Amino acid sequence: MTQVPTAVAVLGLGSVLTGDDGIGPHAVHRLESRFSFPSEVRLLDLGTPGPGLVEILVGLEAAIAIDSVHTNAEPGEVVLYRRDQLIASAAEDRPSVHQPLLKKALRAADLHGGGPQEVLLIGVVPHSVEPSTELSRRVRRALPRIELEVMKELLRLGHPALPLDREVDPTSWLPKAGTGTPFRSTPSK
């Protein structure tokens, strides 16, 4: 059987152990629980990625990254950034705490055979980044908008996803209360 090359990657960035910083992984798992994606689209929970991000980006046509961002907007607000905005941003005005790595990885991927020319960072302003595996109420409310932006971008790129007949529990991958996790199991307000 021939393996279909990945054309688009949806990347969930952030630590699920620090509240709203984990919006990327939470969003990726929610998308997996609600949609069927074409074989050329990969959804990846990258957490806080290291240098291996370059290898993931090389050869992609497009990347959609989901991460917490730091702007003057209200907590829970969704902000969109395109590739040129990420590359042009200075370190001190970076939209995401993981953006310097993303910016460097995009540049390095270009040098190592070509990174994605189509890049969309879907950013969500965090409310709380305290130790917790839960998203704050404000940031949880952004999940439908994130979903919409991913679906719009995939459609624009020619790789639409289809809704699943049944929804899977999007939190089944997280530790449950009473399982020994040292983190708060209730969402912050």
**Structure confidence at residue 46 (pLDDT):** 93
CATH class of 8-163: alpha beta
Which tens digits make up the pLDDT trace of 75-120? Answer: 999 999 999 998 887 544 445 554 557 888 898 898 887 899 999 9
pLDDT at 88: 84
Q: Specify whether the CB–CB gap between 104 and 77 falls below 8 A.
A: no
Percent of the chain with pLDDT over 90: 59
The yes-or-no verdict on residue 165 having pLDDT over 60 is yes
Q: Per-residue DSSP letters for 31-79? A: HHHHEE--TTEEEEEEES--TTHHHHHTT-SEEEEEEE--SSSPTT-EE
CB 188 within 8 A of CB 127: yes
pLDDT tens digits for range 3-33: 556 799 999 999 999 999 999 999 999 999 9
Q: What is the pLDDT of residues 145-161, one digit of tens each?
A: 999 999 999 999 999 99
- pLDDT attached to residue 145: 98
Cβ within 8 Å of residue 52, ≥6 positions away: none
Q: Per DSSP, what are the bridge partners of residue 47?
A: 13
Domain boundaries, the chain: 8-163
pLDDT given for residue 173 in this prediction: 59
Q: Are 54 and 101 in contact (CB under 8 A)?
A: no
pLDDT given for residue 8 in this prediction: 97
